Structure 1
Amino acid sequence: MKLRNKSALITGGASGIGKDIALTFAREGARVAIADLNKEAAEATAAQIRDSGAQAVGIAMDVTDEKAVNDGVAAVVAAFSGIDVLISNAGIQIIHPIEEFSYAEWKKMLAIHLDGAFLTTRACLPHMYGSGRGGCVIYMGSVHSKEASLLKAPYVTAKHGLIGLAKVVAKEGAAHGVRANVICPGFVRTPLVEKHDPRAGETLGISEQEVIRNVMLKETVDGEFTTVEDIAEAALFFAAFPSNALTGQSLVVSHGWFMQ
């Protein structure tokens, strides 16, 4: 098992990409904390993992609330005697042209995607630094960490920002054996994307199927969505990597939508 005796905190872990990462990590021997705004869903995912014979806890966490983050991390440390891996995955989507974005929506998007990454990182790092084992921070970026799309100004801005944050954490954490990297998925069939399809079609004046074919998957090599399993395997690769050789990097997982 690649993550035996490791403890992982996964934000937004009750569904979608976060849930599949949690299940994958548990299968590989990790103790997993599912942090989510929806406490019942977090508990349900944790129960599913426990039913498989692995260790898991579900905790309520609003990643934009400093106290909630600090209390949640403290609860994980108490349950598992430390945190070895942080997966900063919580996110939402709001789409408008820039001129129609309210300032409140802009701030909400940056708070969840970027402030949440900062707050959870800041809360976890002292435990990683003091453990003597090092640690691993993984941010859930996007192809939009590398390029822009219509209607997504705050999302693109936040996802670009995660790459900068990861590079700083990689430099500051190196002396303590802490690595930081970013996974940049293409379009993944999650509840977030399911909600996005029809709204984007309405805004662009095209059908949902045209959004999928001519917008989302147009630049892929095979017209296929990236899967949650694909992203979970990338997270496992980063989390299990044995040295500081792989840090400060971003990995695009997008069926060739974006190549670098």
Structure 2
Amino acid sequence: MTTSRLEGRIAIVTGAGCVGTGWGNGRAVAVQLAREGARVLATDIDTGSLEETVAMAGAAGGNIEAFFCDVTDEASIRTALSHCETVLGAPDILVNNVGGSAPGGAAELSREAWDRQILFNLTSVFLTCKAVLPGMQARQRGAIVNLASTSGLRYTGAAQAGYAAAKAAVIQFSKVTAVQYAPYGIRVNTVVPGQLHTPMVENRLAGQRAGGNVEALLESRVKRIPLGFMGDGRDTAQAVAYLASDDARFVTGTEIVLDGGMTARCD
């Protein structure tokens, strides 16, 4: 359902492209916020993919401004923020969606791969919040939604120590930031997706975990989910839109877990 509950809001969504055709988390979030009335700065390092995001938004694409941003680079983040303020206005909403896993446990993961995982999944969240928070504090309002992963809550079937550690840290970073900035009218929450069926499954994870066998990977993922099916990026987008809106005005420092009951299982 499309509403106008974000009418007049300005949002920055990082990682709003997609690794393939379809509804990745960032793309779905950017489009959902735009459809609900927000003017969205959709950022990614893949500008071609951003163009597809705008096209898939249909009539709401007019509310989306695509812009290159490398969220591991402070200068790039400052440029994107400046562009947002100049073209759209000061952001009321920040959604940190950038992330990605690398296989390997503590002994197998190289130091370089570990550092990249922390930079990509955690430091990027810190850097974007660091850039946006002073302005939100001055305006006495704001909503930040960070995306983590159920890998940050429990072992989910694949050894990915760097990714799991970074995503667990995102959850705690969000809690600390939420409490610190609550007196300034800023809310900070986390969406924690589980076994979703996004384009990343076919384009990246199948090669990492199932020798390229997409069907085998999908079957193994569904078996972990009590509801018996996988959600997708649109489920993530609905949760983010709620947390970004005034419907969640009394919600901060917490998480919405989107996993079909997977982490509630004791086996």
- TM-score normalised over the length of structure 2: 0.88
Q: What does residue 246 of structure 2 align with?
A: 241
CA contact (8 A) 2:149 2:192 kept: yes
CA contact (8 A) 1:198 1:207 kept: yes
In the TM superposition, residue 243 of structure 1 has moved relative to its aligned partner by: 5.9
CA contact (8 A) 2:225 2:259 kept: yes
CA contact (8 A) 1:92 1:112 kept: yes
SS in 2 for 1:211: helix
Q: What does residue 155 of structure 2 align with?
A: 148
SS in 2 for 1:224: coil
For 1:127 and 1:25, how far apart are their aligned partners in 2?
A: 21
Instruction: Answer yes or no: is 1:139 the counterpart of 2:146.
Output: yes
Instruction: Answer yes or no: is 1:229 the counterpart of 2:234.
Output: yes
CA contact (8 A) 2:201 2:214 kept: no
Q: For the aligned residues, what is the CA RMSD? A: 2.0
1:186-201 superposed matches below 5 A: 186-194=194-202, 195-201=204-210
For 2:223 and 2:206, how far apart are their aligned partners in 1?
A: 14
Query: How many residues end up aligned between the 2 structures?
Result: 255
CA contact (8 A) 2:197 2:230 kept: yes
CA contact (8 A) 2:54 2:61 kept: no
SS in 2 for 1:73: helix
Aligned partner of 2:219 among 207, 213, 216: 213
Q: Tell me which of the two structures has the higher relative contact order, counting C-alpha pairs closer than 8 angstroms and 6 or more residues apart.
A: 2
5+ long unaligned stretches in structure 1: none
**Identity rate, percent:** 27
C-alpha change, 1:160 and 1:98, in structure 2 (3 Å) is same
Moved more, 218-227 or 180-189: 218-227
For 2:55 and 2:232, how far apart are their aligned partners in 1?
A: 23
In the TM superposition, residue 228 of structure 1 has moved relative to its aligned partner by: 1.2
Instruction: Answer yes or no: is 1:10 the counterpart of 2:13.
Output: yes
CA contact (8 A) 2:14 2:96 kept: yes
For 1:250 and 1:243, how far apart are their aligned partners in 2?
A: 12
CA contact (8 A) 1:49 1:55 kept: no
CA contact (8 A) 2:242 2:248 kept: no
5+ long unaligned stretches in structure 2: 19-23
Deviations 1:147-197 (A, max 9, x none): 123321011001100111101111111111100011011112223222112
- Letter of the structure 2 residue corresponding to residue 110 of structure 1: I
Q: What does residue 255 of structure 2 align with?
A: 250
For 1:52 and 1:174, how far apart are their aligned partners in 2?
A: 31
For 1:108 and 1:233, how far apart are their aligned partners in 2?
A: 29
- Letter of the structure 2 residue corresponding to residue 213 of structure 1: E
CA contact (8 A) 1:178 1:244 kept: no
